[in-house]
């Protein structure tokens, strides 16, 4: 595409992240116009259109995908629609930016990748895990420079420190028919970890649904199948062992969302909630804050990266469809391991069930 041409965007699904990040981010880029929006209802679509001065409101996502005036589609729906919209948009010749989670399961993600490879002239991007963007370059450089020595273990946690809350409303994240096989922030943190130390080759998992029923928007009690507590052990390609724990039921546990990397010569601790990267080497006595020079601090630039890729100025770095497939396979392997009571090897074979 000509780097000076106008890129016309259609929005499908204008949830919180789309309204807070994608639409404002795209509007700031010269030569980008958002020309249509489709939300869960015409009324909510009109509200978004009025807020952001979008000229056309569509009743169904197919209208956006089929519109010859649309060059690229931004998909901000819940995961249950990501596969269908992505594949149809690519087949219609549209570039695609799709919200994480990439898909409902690994099979959908692999098909999205296959369709994208049939259309190599089109840009595809999954919205990346945002928690660690500020720290990624610094951590990567420390690992590459031998700060840790040989990596032995990785510990990643997402613990709320709260008791199980049976009164909490049913949300799309707790509805497996809308969210798929991911659990809490497991997939997001796995994606971030893989940027630093690579992927897993085997997982063993246990998980539990403690609150088995919640109230939906219509006031009805509905069954919950998405776990609210999960433990995962993983063998990484680099030879290290990783432990993931995510929980919404551990009352009085210290709230903890972060990562720890333990090596033969050093330790790194990432605490994004308190904006801290800590480290220490073998000869030191305690962890100390590590200053991140401004030139090494990453930031949210998803929309700019997408448009740059569409214009042929730079490839997508975070997150490619091939990388998205890998984290979808990891989350599916966790679910299968827990359900079947055995270890599961990665990558999953194409016919895995």
**Residue 217 pLDDT exceeds 90:** no
Q: Give the Å distances, CA to CA, from 345 to 231, 280, 329.
A: 17, 33, 10
- The answer to whether residues 21 and 46 touch, using CB atoms and an 8 Å cutoff, is no
Region(s) of the chain under CATH 3.30.360.10: 136-298
Q: Which residues pair with 95 in a beta bridge?
A: 72
Nearest Cα to 346, choosing from 259, 234, 239, 190?
234
User: For the structural domain made of 136-298, what CATH number should be given?
Assistant: 3.30.360.10
Which residues lie closer than 8 Å to 127 by C-beta, 6 or more apart? Answer: 17, 22, 97, 98, 99, 100, 302, 319
Q: Identify the bridge partners of residue 235 per DSSP, sorted by sequence position.
A: 202, 241
Instruction: Specify the pLDDT at position 22.
Output: 97
Which among 155, 54, 131, 75 has a CA at the least distance from the CA of 298?
A: 131
Q: Across all residues in the chain, what is the average pLDDT? A: 95
Q: Is the predicted pLDDT of residue 351 greater than 80, yes or no?
A: no
CB 209 within 8 A of CB 225: yes
pLDDT at 149: 98
Place of tokens 């433990």: 231
* pLDDT at residue 1, as a whole number: 59
The pLDDT of residue 210: 94
Relative to beta strand 288-289, strand 221-223 is unpaired
pLDDT band at 2 (very low <50, low <70, confident <90, very high): low
219 touches 140 (CB < 8 A): no
Contacts 24+ apart (CB under 8 A), 278-285: 279/142, 279/147, 281/147, 282/149
C-alpha dihedral sign at 17, 20, 21, 26: positive
Q: Which residues contact 258 (CB under 8 A, 6 or more apart)?
A: 156, 157, 269, 270, 271, 272, 273
The mean pLDDT value for 52-75 works out to 97
- The pLDDT confidence band at residue 5, using thresholds 50, 70 and 90, is confident
Token representation of residue 29: 């880029």
Q: Tell me: the pLDDT tens digits for 143-177? A: 999 999 999 999 999 999 999 998 888 889 999 99
Among left, alpha and beta (phi > 0; psi -120 to 50; other), residue 306 is alpha
Check: pTM over 0.75? Answer yes or no: yes
* Start-end of CATH 3.40.50.720 domains in the chain: 7-130+301-319
The domain 7-130+301-319 having CATH identifier 3.30.390.30: the answer here is: no
Handedness of CA 188, 110, 82, 318 (dihedral sign): positive
- pLDDT tens digit sequence for 97-151: 999 999 999 999 999 999 999 999 999 999 999 999 999 999 999 999 999 999 9
**Which of the four pLDDT bands, split at 50, 70 and 90, describes residue 3?**
low
């Amino acid at each position: 595409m000509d780097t000076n041409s106008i890129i016309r965007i259609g929005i499908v699904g204008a949830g919180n992240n789309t309204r807070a990040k994608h639409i404002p981010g795209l509007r700031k880029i010269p030569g980008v116009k958002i020309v249509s929006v489709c939300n869960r209802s015409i009324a909510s679509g009109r509200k978004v259109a009025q807020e952001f001065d979008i000229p056309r409101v569509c009743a169904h996502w197919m209208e956006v995908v089929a519109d010859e005036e649309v060059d690229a589609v931004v998909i901000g729906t819940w995961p249950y629609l990501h596969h269908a919209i992505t594949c149809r948009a690519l087949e219609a010749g549209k570039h695609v930016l799709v919200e994480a989670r990439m898909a409902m399961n690994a099979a959908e993600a692999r098909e999205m990748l296959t369709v994208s490879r049939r259309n190599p002239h089109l840009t595809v991007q999954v919205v990346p895990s945002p928690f660690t963007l500020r720290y990624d370059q610094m951590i990567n450089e420390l690992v590459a420079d031998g700060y840790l020595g040989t990596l032995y273990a990785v510990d990643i946690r997402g613990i709320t420190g709260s008791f199980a809350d049976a009164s909490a409303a049913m949300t799309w994240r707790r509805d497996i028919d809308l969210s798929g096989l991911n659990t809490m922030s497991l997939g997001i943190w796995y994606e971030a970890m893989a940027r630093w130390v690579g992927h897993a080759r085997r997982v063993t998992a246990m998980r539990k649904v403690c609150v088995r029923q919640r109230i939906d928007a219509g006031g009805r009690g509905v069954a919950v199948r998405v776990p609210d507590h999960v433990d995962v052990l993983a063998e990484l390609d680099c030879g290290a062992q990783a432990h993931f724990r995510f929980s919404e039921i551990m009352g009085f546990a210290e709230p903890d969302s972060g990562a720890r990397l333990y090596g033969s010569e050093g330790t790194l601790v990432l605490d994004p909630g308190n904006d801290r990267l800590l480290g220490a080497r073998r000869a030191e006595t305690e962890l100390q804050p590590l200053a991140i020079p401004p030139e090494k601090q990453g930031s949210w630039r998803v929309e700019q990266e997408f448009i740059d890729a569409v214009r042929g100025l730079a490839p997508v770095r975070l997150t490619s469809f091939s990388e998205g497939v890998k984290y979808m396979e990891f989350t599916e392997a966790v679910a299968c391991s827990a359900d079947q009571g055995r270890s599961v090897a990665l990558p999953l074979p194409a016919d895995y069930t």
